[in-house]
């Protein structure tokens, strides 16, 4: 996710006219916070993280205050809090103060591009406010719909009826949820999630859906997101020089999605494709230095710049350069491999050789020509390598890369350094 929380979520939802909780940002004055508490009875204090990181509530990273003193104390506790969930690590930079929304019912809603249905898909349940994956499938509706006609009111109505949702929920949700399709479609989103939507009763008892948390992801290669005028730092996972340099390479063609998993890792894995990225990140764990998706048929110049930045920051500590991706439909393997080979050759020429083992697993157009370029480059540099074709099992290729990394750590790095006539600190780096 690139935008999480209500700090920017409330502003984006204004484009759709969808009701939201009242939100104050990190710069809110004490008078504004006090007035917010008086209007709503209490406020929730939430840390602001870059990108998406889960299980914040279960980690105690959510404060609630009914008076100004408690609110300021929670602000001090959470303003720069650090949080780790799985392989993800994030540090907060600020907090939001969100007015409490009284409600008996909570709803989960999302729209995403489903690879299963090959269509935009609505996910909906009136059992929101919890991890949706923990719910029985019968309690969650997943409904694909035609992107040409959009998410119409009847799509929502039929889903709620099938879930046997309380009748008082159906009409307000049918009126409000279709608005979110316009927000999703008009600004180049790939995912939009609201959880929870709290159903706030008015004086007459009629319920109004109110968004209390927000997540979304954009296709950064779709120019429509630029109309939102979001600040550039929203799309940075961290303030590291590496991620900032990569993020500056956004062009009309090719993806540059990357974040650092473990700055002390030993496998540098430029990955092509979202599915490959998920599998590689999960299986490599802390051995991986970065998580990346450089697919989308990047042109030669862009791919070379991406590789140069990766090599500049990480090659010195790398045991295994692991170039991996699925079988591409449109990415020119020859162009991407030629760019990476040229970047590696130039890096060695400028900075000197480093002990390295290369593992490649890839498929797609011009694969054989691309492999030939890589082979010639590695042979010229004196580097050991292993290349797997499109018919290789990706999980087995990942296991092979991990086995090579273990061998490098147990003496293989020194052997390669000897072959390259390296000695002293360079061989041990």
Q: pLDDT (tens digit, 9 = 90+) per residue, 121-163? A: 999 999 887 677 788 889 999 999 998 889 999 999 999 999 9
Q: Is the pLDDT of residue 234 over 70?
A: no
Greatest mean pLDDT among 127-141, 245-259, 373-387, 408-422: 373-387
Taking 60 as the threshold, does the pLDDT of residue 252 lie above it?
no
pLDDT at position 217 is 86
Residues of the chain with CATH 3.40.50.261: 236-428
The span from the CA of 238 to the CA of 241, in Å, is 9
Q: Residue 199: which pLDDT band, with cuts at 50, 70 and 90?
A: very high
Give residue 203's pLDDT.
85
Rounded to an integer, the average pLDDT of 378-391 is: 93
d(Cα 407, Cα 428) in Å, to the nearest integer?
14
Predicted confidence (pLDDT) at residue 427 exceeds the cutoff of 50: no
- 54-70 pLDDT per residue, tens: 666 666 788 999 999 99
- When pLDDT is cut at 50, 70 and 90, the band that residue 429 belongs to is very low
Give the per-residue pLDDT at 425: 40
- Decide: 207 and 145 in contact? Cβ < 8 Å: no
Which class is 236-428 in CATH?
A: alpha beta
- Is the pLDDT reported for residue 50 higher than 90? no
- pLDDT at 93 (0 to 100): 81
In the chain, CATH 3.30.1490.20 covers: 22-99
Are 197 and 128 within 8 A, CB to CB?
A: yes
- Average pLDDT in the 224-241 region? 69
What is the percent of the chain with per-residue pLDDT over 70, rounded to a whole number? 89
What mean pLDDT do residues 290-298 have?
83
- Give the tokens for residue 267: 């496998």
Of 297, 243, 289, residue with least CA distance to 273: 297
Closest residue by Cα to residue 353 from 415, 416, 404: 416
Of the listed ranges 98-112, 331-345, 352-366, 409-423, the least confidently predicted one is 409-423
- pLDDT of amino acid 426: 39
**What's the confidence (pLDDT) of residue 374?**
96
Which ranges in the chain are annotated with CATH 3.30.470.20?
106-223
Range 212-219 average pLDDT: 88
Residue 302 and residue 11: Cα distance in Å, rounded? 33
Q: How far is residue 157 from each of residues 5, 162, 296, measured CA to CA in Å?
A: 27, 9, 37
Residue with tokens 């180049």: 188
Would you place residue 233 in the very low, low, confident or very high pLDDT band (cuts 50, 70, 90)? low
Task: Give pLDDT, residue 220.
Answer: 67
Give residue 87's pLDDT band: very low, low, confident or very high (50, 70, 90). Answer: low
4 or 369, greater pLDDT: 369
- Mean pLDDT across the chain: 87
Q: What is the pLDDT of residue 30?
A: 94
Residue 390's pLDDT band, with cuts at 50, 70 and 90, is: confident
Confidence band, pLDDT 50/70/90 cuts, at residue 240:
low
Mean of pLDDT values over 29-37: 95
Q: Which of 324, 336, 293 is nearest to 395 (CA)?
A: 324
Strands 320-327, 357-363: pairing is parallel
Parallel, antiparallel or unpaired: strands 385-388 and 357-363? parallel
Per-residue model confidence (pLDDT) at position 85: 66
Residues contacting residue 217 through CB under 8 Å, at least 6 positions apart:
1, 2, 3, 189, 190, 191
DSSP 223: G
275-289, pLDDT tens digit by residue?
787 788 888 988 999
pLDDT of residue 424: 44
User: Of the CATH numbers 3.40.50.300, 3.30.70.270, 3.30.470.20, 3.40.50.720, which one belongs to the domain with range 106-223?
Assistant: 3.30.470.20
Please give the pLDDT value at position 58.
66
Per-residue confidence (pLDDT) for residue 236, from 0 to 100: 56
Q: How many helices (H) and strands (E) does the chain have?
A: 14, 20
Residue with tokens 């299986």: 283
> Looking at residues 318-336, what average pLDDT do you find?
90
Domain boundaries 22-99, CATH class: alpha beta
pTM exceeds cut of 0.85: no
**37 or 228, higher pLDDT:** 37
| pLDDT of 235 | 62
């Amino acid at each position: 996710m690139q935008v999480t929380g209500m700090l920017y979520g409330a502003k984006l939802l204004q484009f759709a006219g969808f009701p939201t909780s009242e939100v104050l940002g990190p710069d809110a004055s004490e008078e504004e916070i006090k007035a917010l508490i008086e209007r709503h009875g209490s406020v929730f204090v939430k840390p602001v993280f870059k990108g998406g990181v889960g299980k914040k509530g279960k980690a105690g990273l959510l404060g609630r205050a009914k008076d100004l003193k408690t609110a300021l104390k929670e602000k001090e506790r959470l303003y720069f809090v650090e949080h780790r969930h799985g392989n993800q690590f994030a540090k907060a930079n600020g907090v939001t103060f969100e007015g409490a929304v009284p409600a008996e019912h909570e709803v989960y809603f999302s729209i995403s591009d489903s690879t299963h249905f090959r269509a935009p898909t609505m996910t909906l349940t009136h059992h929101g406010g919890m991890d949706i994956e923990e719910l029985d499938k019968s309690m969650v509706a997943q409904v694909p719909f035609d992107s040409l006609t959009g998410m119409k009111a009847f799509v929502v109505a039929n889903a709620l009826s099938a879930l046997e949702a309380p009748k008082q929920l159906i009409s307000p949700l049918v009126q409000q949820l279709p608005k979110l399709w316009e927000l999703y479609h008009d600004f180049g989103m790939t995912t939009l999630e609201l959880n929870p939507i709290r159903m706030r009763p008015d004086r007459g008892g009629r319920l109004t859906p109110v968004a209390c948390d927000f997540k979304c992801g954009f296709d950064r290669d779709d120019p429509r997101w630029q109309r939102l005028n979001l600040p550039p730092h929203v799309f940075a996972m961290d303030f590291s020089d590496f991620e900032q340099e990569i993020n500056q390479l956004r062009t009309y063609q090719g993806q540059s999605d990357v974040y650092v998993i473990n700055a002390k890792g030993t496998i540098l894995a430029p990955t092509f494709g979202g599915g490959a990225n998920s599998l590689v990140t999960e299986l490599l764990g802390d051995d991986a230095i970065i998580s990346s998706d450089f697919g989308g048929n990047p042109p030669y110049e862009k791919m070379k710049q991406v590789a140069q930045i990766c090599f500049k920051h990480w090659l010195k500590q790398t045991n295994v350069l692991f170039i991996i991706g699925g079988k591409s439909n449109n990415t020119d393997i020859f162009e991407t491999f030629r760019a990476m080979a040229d970047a590696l050759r130039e890096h060695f020429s400028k900075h000197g050789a480093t002990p390295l083992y290369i593992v490649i697993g890839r498929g797609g157009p011009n694969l054989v020509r691309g492999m030939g370029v890589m082979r010639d480059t590695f042979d010229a540099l004196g580097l050991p390598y292993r290349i797997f074709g499109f018919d290789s099992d990706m999980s087995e290729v990942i296991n092979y890369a991990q086995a090579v990394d273990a061998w490098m750590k147990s003496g293989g790095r020194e052997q390669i350094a000897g072959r390259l006539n390296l000695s002293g600190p360079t061989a041990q780096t």
